Amino acid sequence: MGIKPLLRVLAREREAVPPVWMMRQAGRYLPEYRAVREKAGGFLDLCFNPKLAAEVTLQPVCRFGFDAAILFSDILIVPLALGRKVEFLAGEGPKLEPLTDAAALASLRETIDGKILAPVYETVARVKSALDSKTALIGFCGAPWTVATYMVAGEATPDQAPARLFALRDPENFSTLIDLLVQGSIEYLAGQLKAGAEVVQIFDTWAGVLSPEQFDRWCIQPTEKIVAGVRRQVPGAKIIGFPRGAGAMALPYAIATGVDGIGLDWTFLRSLAHDILQPRVTVQGNVDPLALLAGGAALDREVDDVMAALSNGPLIFNLGHGILPDTPIAHVERMLKRVRG
Ligand code: CP3
């Protein structure tokens, strides 16, 4: 049994003070991140530079004493390792060549390219050796559905309509894409765990746009396969799922996938999370990132509400989505002080 608080809580023990980390904790709200980012050149150059990626991974842990470090990388590394062109243009977000038909699908590699991913595993190993005995290391991947939304559209979209249409019009080819991502994600997460990650999180940022039937097919079933596949290679692997916007599908997701923890966004009713989710899985979340940006009484209320509703069961204190770039550092400090007392 791990001694690190995050691992204890994922083994369903309750901690008087819950372990805390933040999604996107290494990022633009930190001046020290912006400095390294500038030095690295492009965003992908930073992701593939183990020395600098390890440095930015550790920055928020050093500054705030979080209970976990999350590998600095991106979910769109996997399409890159499957042979797609991926770019991050400054101020514009990701750009991929859109994947619109069976011919494009046929051009994908069948397995992820280990050479491309090697620097990421090296980052994991470097971070692991730098962490103290209380701080856990989290690896991650994007869930197949969310990664597919970017691969199909070629960019971020407000409603993920291109991928939803592909899935509705041509479910067979879409399921080929999802299966490739399932296999690639299994290899990628197992690789991170073997390199030293102690927990992995599966980010399904766009799960909430799917109908219940489609949610089962494109979110729950692929995630279930990833969880089982990773645990075949790494028995007992600790896994957190983050099906953002799952709402009423959160319980079927938790039961079917077998994740150890479920990340909830801020729209999820906390009393319901306590009553139906916490008896089965560790709950992670779910402060509204805008409350953290706002600070003051709005932030205090939000922190108190999470603690009142969820801290008498296994809880990982976190945001309901990534920290926003304009968030003042003082607000993060205020949140931590209130959680830790
Ligand atoms: O959490 C962490 O600190 C670890 C690093 C991490 C990044 N991206 C770094 C990043 C993680 C876990 C991610 C996951 C990710 N990437 C998701 C899922 C979680 C979520 O936030 O919804 C998604 C959908 C992506 C894809 C992605 N990457 C987009 C749409 C963008 C552009 C929007 C934006 O925030 O800039 C990115 C870029 C990105 N990934 C940045 C960082 C720090 C900003 C790039 C920069 O420094 O200029």
Give the domain CATH number at 31: 3.20.20.210
| Catalytic member of 29, 67, 74, 121 | 74
Global pTM value: 0.97
- Provide the H-helix boundaries in 138-268: 144-153, 161-169, 171-195, 212-215, 221-233, 250-257
Under a CB-based contact definition with an 8 Å cutoff, are residues 210 and 244 in contact?
Answer: no
| Catalytic member of 33, 121, 150, 188 | 150
Helix (H, G, I), strand (E, B) or coil at 89: strand
- Which pairing describes strands 282-287 and 315-319: parallel, antiparallel, or unpaired? parallel
Query: What pLDDT is stored for residue 90 in this prediction?
Result: 82
Give yes or no: 340 in active site.
no
Cβ 43 under 6 angstroms from ligand 1: yes
Q: How far is CA 98 from the centre of its chain?
A: 23
Q: Identify residue 103 by its one-letter amino acid code.
A: A
Residues 224 and 233: their CA atoms lie apart, in Å, by: 15
Tokens of 28: 């633009």
| Catalytic member of 12, 24, 231, 334 | 24
Pocket test for ligand 1, best of 20, 23, 24, 87 (most atoms within 8 A of CB): 24
Q: How far does the centroid of ligand 1 lie from the alpha carbon of residue 49, in Å?
A: 16
Provide φ and ψ at 306, rounded to 5°.
-60, -45
Which H or E element spans position 137?
Answer: strand 136-142
Which H or E element spans position 279?
Answer: none
Number of domains in the chain: 1
Provide φ and ψ at 196, rounded to 5°.
130, -5
Tokens of 276: 């139906």
Instruction: Count other C-beta atoms under 10 Å from residue 104's C-beta.
Output: 16
Residues 339 and 306: their CA atoms lie apart, in Å, by: 10
Tokens of 15: 């901690």
Residues 55 and 62: their CA atoms lie apart, in Å, by: 10
Closest ligand 1 atom to 60 CA:
3
Q: How far does the centroid of ligand 1 lie from the alpha carbon of residue 333, in Å?
A: 22
Q: How far does the centroid of ligand 1 lie from the alpha carbon of residue 93, in Å?
A: 9
Nearest to 215 by CA among 246, 241, 185: 246
Which H or E element spans position 28?
Answer: none
The residue nearest atom 2 of ligand 1, judged by CA position, is: 24
The residue nearest atom 10 of ligand 1, judged by CA position, is: 74
H helix and E strand count, the chain: 17, 9
Say which residues have a Cβ less than 8 Å from residue 317's Cβ, sequence separation at least 6: 18, 19, 20, 287, 306, 307, 339
Give yes or no: 33 in active site.
no
pLDDT tens-digit profile, the chain (341 residues): 459 999 999 999 999 999 999 999 999 999 999 999 999 999 999 999 999 999 999 999 999 999 999 999 999 999 999 999 999 998 889 999 999 999 999 999 999 999 999 999 999 999 999 999 999 999 999 999 999 999 999 999 999 999 999 999 999 999 999 999 999 999 999 999 999 999 999 999 999 999 999 999 999 999 999 999 999 999 999 999 999 999 999 999 999 999 999 999 999 999 999 999 999 999 999 999 999 999 999 999 999 999 999 999 999 999 999 999 999 999 999 999 999 98
Domain limits at 269?
A: 5-340
Tokens of 98: 């859109």
Helix (H, G, I), strand (E, B) or coil at 197: coil
Query: What pLDDT is stored for residue 211 in this prediction?
Result: 97
Q: Is the peptide bond before 49 cis (omega within 30 degrees of 0)?
A: no
Query: What pLDDT is stored for residue 253 in this prediction?
Result: 98
Say which residues have a Cβ less than 8 Å from residue 252's Cβ, sequence separation at least 6: 216, 220
Under a CB-based contact definition with an 8 Å cutoff, are residues 321 and 265 in contact?
Answer: yes
Nearest to 189 by CA among 236, 235, 136, 226: 226
> In degrees, to the nearest 5, what angle opens at C-alpha 30 toward C-alphas 157 and 136?
90
Give yes or no: 24 in active site.
yes
Under a CB-based contact definition with an 8 Å cutoff, are residues 232 and 178 in contact?
Answer: no
